[in-house]
Structure 1
Amino acid sequence: MDNTPFVIERTYNAPVESVWKALTDKNEMKQWYFDLAEFKPEVGFEFQFTAKGKDGKEFIHLCKVTDVVKGQKLSYSWRYKGYEGNSLVTFELFKEGNQTRLKLTHAGLETFPASEDFARKNFVEGWTYITGTSLKQYLEKMLSQTVTT
């Protein structure tokens, strides 16, 4: 069993403040991440959302914010209603000139049931798309609107 956390890094042509807002504002999150009924970057805040697996099966994600360092770090637990396991997702932001480097770590994947639904490759594909395509495109769109207005 591989208990190595999944880690992915991406650099965006956006200031840290813009990336932080995209990670913590529920109205922005629904544009690139998941449509959350409510979200607050406060330790102890619990939220949930539903997402479909590859076969269309719905999974209710139960999350609780565990760590917040404004503009730098956001962590929350990530588990599934009705299933064993509990993991931890951490977003860390690093200012690099006019850009922001995001380091996403998802630890505890090995605690989920050993089934295709929770296979590590699914998390790799999901986070790769979310950080490399969805968030990137959202930030570029937001910045182009800022420049033109």
Structure 2
Amino acid sequence: MTEIPPIRTVVIEREVAHPPEKIWRALTQPHLLEEWLMKTDFKPEKGQKFTFSRQPQPDISVVVDCQVLDIEPNRSLSYSWQAFGLESVVTFTLEPTPRGAIIRMEQTGFRPDQDAAYKGARASWKQFVARLDELLSRLD
């Protein structure tokens, strides 16, 4: 019997002093997504296709093709994330706490032969979530 190699997942979880409704705005409003993640034409509707894009250097463009898979306002958001041969799923969950909320970001679908993508995602999501936290501190 052939053994199927495990699919790897990047998980970042932290508690923030902001309510789920405020975090939800930053996860679903394109002008706010652009501040902490990437430029996007996102619409919070199940089945909606959208892209994330950025140009880190003049001669390099990054485009991520996505589709909203599941959405439960102020609670969870899941979308496909496809770029550079990676087909994965990103899921955000928000859990209210007495202090604010726990944000959990999970990106799953990294095959064993996608080590560079996996390591890049681990580093990038830490930076993205830190920028999300900074944005939340500035939002009303």
Report TM bin, short chain: 0.7 to 0.9
Question: 1:85: Cα distance to partner?
Answer: 3.4
User: Counting helix residues as a fraction of each chain, which structure ranks higher?
Assistant: 1
| Offset at residue 52 of structure 1 (A) | 5.0
Write the letter of the residue equivalent to 1:26. P
In structure 2, the residue matched to 1:139 is: 136
Give the alignment's TM-score, normalised by structure 1: 0.81
Structure 2: runs of 5+ lacking an equivalent = none
Counting matched residue pairs gives 135
The 5 A counterparts of 1:1-12 are 3-12=7-16
Task: Give how far 1:108 is off.
Answer: 0.3
Q: Which runs of 5 or more residues in structure 1 are unaligned?
A: none
Q: 1:115 to 1:91 in 2, by over 3 A?
A: closer
The equivalences for 1:47-126 within 5 A come to 47-51=50-54, 57-80=60-83, 83-110=84-111, 114=114, 116=116, 118=117, 120-126=118-124
- Percent of matched pairs sharing the same residue: 27
Q: Do the aligned residues in 1 keep the contact of 2:39 with 2:54 (CA within 8 Å)?
A: no
Task: Confirm or deny: 8 A CA contact 2:15 2:100 kept in the other structure.
Answer: yes
Preserved contact between residue 18 and residue 99 of structure 2 (Cα < 8 Å): yes
Shift of 1:99: 0.8
SS at match of 2:44: coil
Runs of 4+ in 1 over 6 A off after TM superposition: none
Mark the CA change 1:6 to 1:141 in structure 2 (over 3 Å): closer, same or farther: same
One-letter amino acid of the structure 1 residue matched with residue 132 of structure 2: L
TM-score, normalising length: structure 2: 0.86
